[in-house]
Structures are given as C-alpha cells and as structure tokens.
Structure 1
Amino acid sequence: MDVLRRIALALIIIGAINWGLIGFFNFDLVAAIFGGQQSLLSRIIYSLVGLSGLYALTIFFTGMSAASENNIHTDRPNYGTEFGSEFDHLRNKDDSNNEEGN
C-alpha cells in the first residue's frame, strides 16, 4: 500500500506543478509533452492525477498516523533520551561532590 501512496503523491505533485505553470505562465506542460490537451496520453495523465487526488482524500480523512501504522516497530522500545548519559554523568559528579562535602 505504501507504493500506491508514493505513486499517488508523485502524480499529485506533477499535477500541482502543471497547474502552477498554467496559472503563472499559461503553459500546460503535460499537453506540451504529450501532444496537446486532447491527445490520449494527456488525457490519461490528467485522469491519473485526478484519481490520485481522490485517493489522497482517503489519506486526509483517515489521518497520516493510520497510513503509517505499518512502519511502527514496537518490539524493542527505546527508553533512552538524547541527553540521558550527560545527565547521568552530571548527577553522579554532583552526588560525589555532595558526599565529599559532608
């Protein structure tokens, strides 16, 4: 399913770039590459971009956490923190200083 999401995302990006070019420069890149807006290849690309947009609606309503549930690994939890060893080192040093002062 992850491959389908990546393909849909790539097609949505292509569509967004194409619409940006149309809006800013009145230039349809898909039509220019594939032989005009009415050519079969252009219509296939437009259709795939539209279907990808509809598929993206399912991701929007289910949320990204549900979309990436398969990528979560819970067999070995990581309880460490970024500064865990530094705090332990400082705490041990402070404890030894307090013990020496007593």
Structure 2
Amino acid sequence: MKSRTWDYIAITLIIIGAINWGLIGFFQFDLVAFIFGGMSSWVSRVIYAVIGIAGLYCLTLYGRVYDQPYSNN
C-alpha cells in the first residue's frame, strides 16, 4: 500500500481515538469498551493498541507536512 493510504487509515484511527477520549472526558463513557466487552477484553486491548500505533505513525506526518502557498484563484 502507498504511504498516503496508511496516512488516511492512521488519521481515521486517531479521530476514532479522539472521539473516544472526548466521550470519556465529558461523559465518563468508554465507547470502545462498551462495544467490545470492557477494557480487559482482548478485542478492546487490540483496538487500543492499534490506535496507539496509529498515533505513533502519525508522528511521521510532522516531517512530511509542509505549507503550500495560497492561490489567489
């Protein structure tokens, strides 16, 4: 797979993680644990781990993102 595909997958997982953390922060509701059977469930742990790996992968985006000049068109 191309790097761009991995970028979109990683960003999607980061968004899911951010929504889950927002739910935890505002409502004390862990959506991942709710759907997959609690925080100690192996499925939940795999999902948390994959989202964590996606977060680490997204650190590489800092080196690849650059400012493009704005077009007046």
1:38-81 deviations in whole A, cap 9, x for unaligned?
11110011001100110111111x1313xxxxxxxxxxxxxxx7
* Matched letter for residue 63 of structure 1: R
**Root mean square deviation, CA, Å:** 1.2
State the 1:10 CA deviation: 0.6
Instruction: State the partner residue of 1:64.
Output: 65
Q: Which protein has greater RCO, CA pairs closer than 8 Å, 6+ apart?
A: 2
Count of residues paired in the alignment: 66
Measured in 2, the distance between the counterparts of 1:51 and 1:14 equals 13
Which of 40, 43, 46 is 2:42 aligned to? 40
Q: What TM-score, normalized by structure 1, do the two folds share?
A: 0.61
Is 1:17 the counterpart of 2:19? The answer is yes
> Could you tell me the percent identity over the aligned residues?
56
Gaps of 5+ in 1: 66-80, 83-102
3-state SS, counterpart of residue 36 of structure 1: coil
Query: If you compute each CA radius of gyration, which structure gives the higher value, 1 or 2?
Result: 1
Q: What TM-score, normalized by structure 2, do the two folds share?
A: 0.84
Which of 15, 26, 30 is 1:28 aligned to? 30
